[in-house]
Structure 1
């Protein structure tokens, strides 16, 4: 202990070891993924700054008045917290991540159920948030990375023990989670979670007949949601059979989103110059992609879409030759989550899908969303870490998968 305090031999050894760990992380991390993520986060800050005045005006009332940049400054705080969290998570050994995620999964599922029962009521009567004083926490955001890592670990056990019933176990967990999400109701997150699980079990080697049965069951679930869940029925009806009778209908939201998205043309009206955004509900969250289109132009929207495509392709390239089942499944699941969530959000904003209350990763406002995306991306960076000095070694895959 004395040597450590005085910087003696033991202290120098620990310092050297710490530096070696940081050096290894710096060389193993995929810097292209880091760069893409940081660029998307930067785009998000500009987008929230553009949307903040409209949302501040919309949410101001007789009892409270929000400053025009209220949501931007809060988002800046969340980003300042989230980026270091992302870096810290990316340093974690993948096996340690699984040991944390497994006990966290039942806690997250319980919190999702709690939100459905006692959560604060949000848009369209959905109870998805648990009030925590000065902010609200959305458990389903944290559930997604925990669910993916836990499911990947369980499915990876079949690599050494194919007789284990992990398809059934993970399917039961997915069904329970989906049921709790539908109680909120949150059809968008339910669809996203089930899609992620389907991709992961396909990669894990589920038989083709089972895949066909699951796809059929998925379509059956959508039909059942239409007939038994009012929110899903209203949104699908508004999308398929538009009506202008109700100015607060989901069709109204889609029309205002399209008006805002195309209002700036190719290059946009310029920062703070957009006017259509003031008629757009949830401009800072669900429909922020439309605000980007108005103030920064359709070119900026195309750049954001291209960045998400680049993130997916880069992740796939890093995982292509992965031999460790756990890292492959977890990395693939996270990639699907980010890509599919971004696709759904952009489709809603462009009128190609019914409104679902789905945020755009890294871009939309929200502490729960930004914090969860920081953890999710940190995990993706951890699972795609590679030792460049072992890349050509016949033992490279073995040691990279440790």
Structure 2
């Protein structure tokens, strides 16, 4: 028995039979794994902060309510409303990014967060999916009408976002946004000369960040020198993270039996993948990697079959963001790259990140619904 009959013409009924239910199921499975790992990792963090044991678990459970609502409600949108939503989110997000420069919370020399009614919000998390959709819109319109300055407008939107991210500074997010933008531009027919200039600009920007941004210099130096340090340094957390994978082996120590989480300040957030490795072993880690790979590859397959250029560019940008964020988090946890404060999608604790990811994947589900291919409600 399915939730809706094929003859059900209600909005939810049409949504159920047109949405990609396999992608939706994989997302919900990631959310469930995230809640399980938050229950395993966060009590130790709460104890160190002198909070009630299940403080983060309760907050994570509360966050799941708007996350599911955003995911489902956004996936109900048609193409026109998806573009409108992206425009609105981008406009509000840019204003909030400007606000963070003056009134944001200063953490480790960067202003990326603002506090609203006791809730910490990172505006850049919401700007990045909105930017991907808007750039796809501009580039697609330029292809339909060469007179329309779509490429120039897309460059302006990207340039504005990049400047605000650098001013925070948030180099990791700047790199992620840049990779997505240039992938979309490449798909839109970016000349090879521009590709070379983009790569050169990225290299110069990375080198400049190392020499002129102290926190970037420290992270890279600690990564290259592999120094220990106290428990609040990145290298200490990486060392503990690698120990967690070694302790976990193939089958793990068992739920609640991990010890490394007691020493990891960010065990419930940036290093939650290490908790999965220690307590549930290689098996759960492979399941998590497999779920991310399934979501990315399934939607890449849908894009290959798509004829609407806007959908091709938008879904490509959004799914690259999603997959690359997962790769960055897991790679830093495994000491393959310097640490970056980037969450593991739908698994790490953090309401701001989870809601932004729900927006991202809600847009992907909306854009890949079968009705968008036959011209219904466009």
Task: Give SS of 1:19's match.
Answer: coil
Does residue 112 (structure 1) correspond to residue 97 (structure 2)? The answer is: yes
Does residue 368 (structure 1) correspond to residue 352 (structure 2)? The answer is: yes
How far has the Cα of 1:378 moved from its partner? Answer: 0.8
Does residue 344 (structure 1) correspond to residue 322 (structure 2)? The answer is: no
Aligned Cα root-mean-square deviation (Å): 1.9
Give the match for residue 259 of structure 2. 275
Q: Structure 2 matches for 1:7-18, cutoff 5 A? A: none
Q: Structure 2 matches for 1:224-373, cutoff 5 A? A: 224-373=208-357
Task: Give SS of 2:200's match.
Answer: helix
What is the alpha-carbon distance in structure 2 between the residues aligned to residue 133 and residue 107 of structure 1? Answer: 17
Q: TM-score, normalised by structure 2?
A: 0.93
Asked whether the 8 Å contact 1:120–1:129 carries over to 2, the reply is: yes
| Structure whose CA Rg is larger | 1
Change (3 A) 1:375 1:290: same
Unaligned 5+ runs, structure 1: 1-16, 61-65, 388-395
Asked whether the 8 Å contact 1:267–1:297 carries over to 2, the reply is: yes
Does residue 152 (structure 1) correspond to residue 148 (structure 2)? The answer is: no
What is the alpha-carbon distance in structure 2 between the residues aligned to residue 80 and residue 20 of structure 1? Answer: 23
Task: Give SS of 1:38's match.
Answer: helix
Instruction: Give CA-to-partner distance per residue, 1:71-105, whole Å, 9 cap, x none.
Output: 11111111122112211110101211212322432
Does residue 198 (structure 1) correspond to residue 182 (structure 2)? The answer is: yes
Asked whether the 8 Å contact 2:38–2:348 carries over to 1, the reply is: yes
What is the alpha-carbon distance in structure 2 between the residues aligned to residue 305 and residue 354 of structure 1? Answer: 20
Change (3 A) 1:355 1:320: same
Instruction: Give CA-to-partner distance per residue, 1:188-241, whole Å, 9 cap, x none.
Output: 111111111011111111111111211111111111111111111111111112
Give the match for residue 32 of structure 1. 22
Q: Which moved more, 1:89-98 or 1:112-121?
A: 112-121
Instruction: Give CA-to-partner distance per residue, 1:141-179, whole Å, 9 cap, x none.
Output: 111221111111111111212244433332232222122
What is the alpha-carbon distance in structure 1 between the residues aligned to residue 226 and residue 39 of structure 2? Answer: 32
Aligned length: 372
Unaligned 5+ runs, structure 2: 1-6
Q: Structure 2 residue aligned with 1:22, among 12, 37, 55?
A: 12
Q: TM-score, normalised by structure 1?
A: 0.88
Q: Which moved more, 1:232-241 or 1:128-137?
A: 128-137
